[in-house]
Amino acid sequence: MALGWSGVTVSPMTLAPVLEAGVLRFEPHEGGLPCRVVTAVDSAAFAETWLAAVAAVRLQAVEAKERA
């Protein structure tokens, strides 16, 4: 996962693109390309990490506005 976050499970899969009814998706296929796919997420840890990141950005914006 981006930045090496440990709250996910990444599994190797071989995938191929499929266009069906105007929707592009990927499905397992022996002739596809090897990919690393996120197959599970620690939802509580994700929510905590996401909210902390949003709060930090918000704080930076408030502080920048106060300095201006």
So what's the pLDDT on residue 3? 62
State the pTM of this model.
0.60
- Residue 49 CA to residue 3 CA, distance in Å, equals 13
- Over residues 8-35, the mean pLDDT reads 96
Quick: pLDDT tens for 43-64.
999 999 889 989 999 888 888 8
So what's the pLDDT on residue 64? 83
Confidence of residue 65 (pLDDT cuts 50, 70, 90): confident
- Over residues 6-31, the mean pLDDT reads 95
